[in-house]
Structure 1
Amino acid sequence: YLDNPLTEDNKLIISDRRISINGSISTKMANEITTKIDYFNNKDKSKPIFIVIDKSPGGSAMAGYLILKAMKGSTAPIYVVLREYAASMAAIILTLADKSFAYAHSTILHHQPLSWNVGNLTEQREKLKRLEAWWTEFGGATAKKMGITLEEFQKEMYKNNSKGDWEELAVNAQKLKWVNHIVDTISDTSVLEEPQKVEPKEPSILSLLNFEETINAKGEVVVYLPRLSPADSYLIHNPDGYYQFR
């Protein structure tokens, strides 16, 4: 295991102390990630742990919070690696990591949390307070790392996009301090078995995470998100309504 996994020719070497984030971030995923962080720490507290994001639109605020707390509590250094796309909660995990790496043309997207609140006026006010608390926690920490205020961060979001979806390629996001290092290549030494050449039916990432695609009453392909706990919210990029509630 390398103490410094970044080589002189700008190649990142990922070891088998590796954790994946793919698809929507759920409580189940958070529990698996925090358990693996504990496991790798108990095996060796000095060697790096890699959290690799291939493609994630974000997900549960509480799940992301648990992952960030586990990262902060880890004695072993944790490096977050982006290969393709990180939005919302996934982007926050990447940005708030002590050390992060990304391909130059991978994409990072930050935005304010969305609300699907229902209920009477008092209930909606209560839910809005919780949503604001999550945004203060995550948006405030992200703004602080950028060296600006939360209010300035919000203004920049809407300056870049009318929906507030601030999207940047990693090569530009590095200047904003959303990611630390831009790498040319990534070598994943954790791959020790040859992938199967023929798959009868390869399960999708969503299927593996219990987020099954289905057809709604309008004939649209959608994924129904699981019900959250009362104090939780979703930090997920959902511009086309692909993620829905029953």
Structure 2
Amino acid sequence: MIHPTALIHPSAQIDSTAEIGPYVIVDGPAEIGPGCRLEAHSQIVGQVKMGAGTVIGRAAIIGGDPQDLGFKTETESGVILGEANVIREHVTIHRGSKPGSFTRIGDGNFIMASAHLAHDVVLGNKNILANACLLAGHITVGSHTFIGGGAVFHQFIRIGDYCVIQGNGGFGKDIPHFCAAHRINRLMGLNVIGLRRQGFSSEQRASIKQMFHLLFSSGRNLSQAVAAAREKEWSEPAQRLLDFVATPSKRGICALQGGREGED
């Protein structure tokens, strides 16, 4: 299952059921799990651990050095990929930037051609990243989120679960769970179609909608809205939304289109 033109480092551990295509490079102590497929010209660099059934597309590079001027190449760090990920052509995923750190990808993600995940990104499960998405370092993405093609994201922000993000948008602030985001740091509402498709009950969706309205369109600033929301009991998903908004990163939370304009 290993093409004769592939170059495999002696320390690499490759399961007997993995398929290694033409001109693939596996350089360093990588671990390639059962049923993985590395397509032609892809490169696996250094400490990369790859879960079962993951596919690496043509000319993708996994485990390259961070694009960080202060990074020391002798740093021991790597990339951990879960199971059943599909990573398409020319995707780049860089290794962690600090000793012992890892860029981490969960299970069942679909990352389309030419996307970039920088050092120390943490990506959850079953996300879809369309072509040419660019995620800077230390970004955390939840699960079941869709990111449109060409969207770009500033380092250190958080993106929640069950979000939908418009292509070609630019984001330097957190995007909370369940939200739809577009343009520059703007929320346009809830991902109502996605929540329905993912099996959220009508009661849960109603509770999430009430929370969203209280946090983003009740006329309060965010601190006041969080305090008001904490005075009530909420469903588990709505409470998750509240907890996310109540603990923002240093970058802050995206504003609702037409609301909280003064926070830009």
Question: For this structure pair, what is the TM-score category when the shorter chain's length is used for normalisation?
Answer: under 0.3
TM-score by length of 1: 0.23
Whichever structure has more helix as a proportion of its residues is: 1
TM-score by length of 2: 0.22
Higher RCO, Cα 8 Å, sep 6+? 1
